[in-house]
Amino acid sequence: MVDKKDDKSAGQKLQDTLCLQNKDLGTIDADLLQKALPYAEDYKLFLRNKTEREIVDYTLPIVKKFGYKEFKLGTRYKPGDKVFYNNRGKNLILVTMGEKPVADGVRISVAHIDSPRLDFKPSPLFEADEMAYFKTHYYGGIKKYQWTAIPLSLHGVLVLNNGKTVKVRLGEEPGEPQFCVTDLLPHLAREQMTKPMNKAIDAEQLNVLVGCWPFKDDKASQKVKLNILDMLFKKYGIIEKDFLSAELCAVPSCKPMDLGFDGSMIIGYGQDDRVCAYSNLMAEIDTKDQEYTTITVFADKEETGSDGNTGMRSTFFRDFLEDFVSVYGAESRHVLQKSVCLSCDVNAAVDPAFPEVFEMNNCSFLNRGPVVSKYTGSRGKYSTNDASAETMGFLRRILDENKIPWQVGELGKVDIGGGGTIASEISVHNLDTVDMGVPVLSMHAPMEVVSKADVYMLYKAISAFYASAYVKD
């Protein structure tokens, strides 16, 4: 191949030197998709876990296989030691001890493992017109109309009166029944079709159809509901009252699949934010012989504001850190001041079908690599962690020196909408924090879309962050 470099005009050369270059990953490395394929296959297996509990259950045996031991209070861990902490089966904290003392600061990466879904109400089962349904209260920001007329599976746990926990996962395996929320036929939807999209389906219409066959009995009432309860009792040993002490939800039952003729993308449920959680996990497992101790956190309840004892506003993270560092005579507040945190979450990829909501200089594009978001929030930067120039510079240096293509990403045009991430919850610990993730199409829809090369490069980016020996200013 002829080197055309010298054919460049003075202006072109100057452009190369001075101008910000935005190239897609395929142009930078034509073989990258091929390299990303094995990683993408394993990622799709991870995605088959559709609740925070299932992700923790799936991850624990993996990290144990890679030498992670359960955290024991008062233990002095040595460089190279790998530790896990499980908070209520919904959070995981994974640690790889570095060469430097923890008092010098640590590298933290956080991603959330909860996703929008239809949670069941405490008393969900009812019968109407000889059909049985579960009432739901949606979890997270959804466009309600998207959740009708698609196959759903049921996931969760019930705690029985004898203290035993029953796990439910139904509709994921071949031959298992599916469920759905019904919608109105177009023929009778003339009025519904004139409503704004946020009114077309009411939250109380998001009832999951679970059966229509009556229990055989001449005298009993509500026989379809009775038949369902009879089946549930026989299969799981549960009675209707057990729903009162349960966490159950309906999620899309479709498996994650390759998308596009070129198989360059993945379509699947819950990629916000399991795409980042998986990249965090893989980078964490890989980490060895590094200078700084790494701490990888799986968070819950991000989609509903990070509240509760498993959300990032809970003290579980700070408490763990205190327990973990005190044995070295360090204070967690001093460790946090010297640490850097990646708040790993997805961002909105520019969608050519909706150019009006994106500002093309500052929004992220599919296939241009990990997206670094200096800030999120809305309406004049409310409710955001705004990463400092120093923190942005710190991350930029790591990514550039490791030749990891990356892009910036603001969530749409100013004042169009907006949204937040865990960054604003975790940075309150006086911790330098910046958002990084992958661009997603159809975010929060039942099936979301990502580029395999982006997913793979996020893993490379987090790995570089964990391996980096740069001292923070």
272 binds Mn ion (CB under 5 A): yes
Site stretch for Mn ion (CB under 5 A), options 261-269, 270-278, 348-356, 410-418? 270-278
- Which are the contacts of 8, defined by CB distance < 8 A and separation ≥ 6? 16
CB of 307 to Mn ion, least distance (A): 15
Site stretch for Mn ion (CB under 5 A), options 35-43, 272-280, 293-301, 370-378? 272-280
273 binds Mn ion (CB under 5 A): yes
Neighbours of 232 (CB within 10 A): 20
Torsion of CA 73, 92, 341, 75, to 10 degrees: 20
CB of 242 to Mn ion, least distance (A): 30
Neighbours of 16 (CB within 10 A): 11
- Taking the least distance from each CB to Mn ion, the nearer of 54 and 345 is 345
CB of 449 to Mn ion, least distance (A): 14
Give the interface size with Mn ion as a residue count (CB under 5 A).
Answer: 3
52 binds Mn ion (CB under 5 A): no
Which residue is nearest to Mn ion, using beta carbons? 273
Structure tokens at 250: 């309906």
Instruction: Give the span between the Cα atoms of 251 and 247, in whole angstroms.
Output: 13
- Taking the least distance from each CB to Mn ion, the nearer of 125 and 411 is 411
CB of 117 to Mn ion, least distance (A): 11
Site stretch for Mn ion (CB under 5 A), options 149-157, 273-281, 288-296, 370-378? 273-281
CB of 299 to Mn ion, least distance (A): 10
CB of 142 to Mn ion, least distance (A): 10
- Which are the contacts of 176, defined by CB distance < 8 A and separation ≥ 6? 153, 170
- x/- mask, Mn ion, residues 339-378, rule CB under 5 A, reads ------x---------------------------------
Instruction: Give the span between the Cα atoms of 189 and 200, in whole angstroms.
Output: 10
Instruction: Give the span between the Cα atoms of 305 and 156, in whole angstroms.
Output: 21
- Taking the least distance from each CB to Mn ion, the nearer of 345 and 432 is 345
CB of 140 to Mn ion, least distance (A): 6
- Which are the contacts of 110, defined by CB distance < 8 A and separation ≥ 6? 280, 296, 297, 299, 312, 341, 342, 343, 344, 422, 426
Token look-up 């036929």 returns: 185
349: amino acid identity, one letter: A
The contact set with Mn ion (CB under 5 A) reads: 272-273, 345
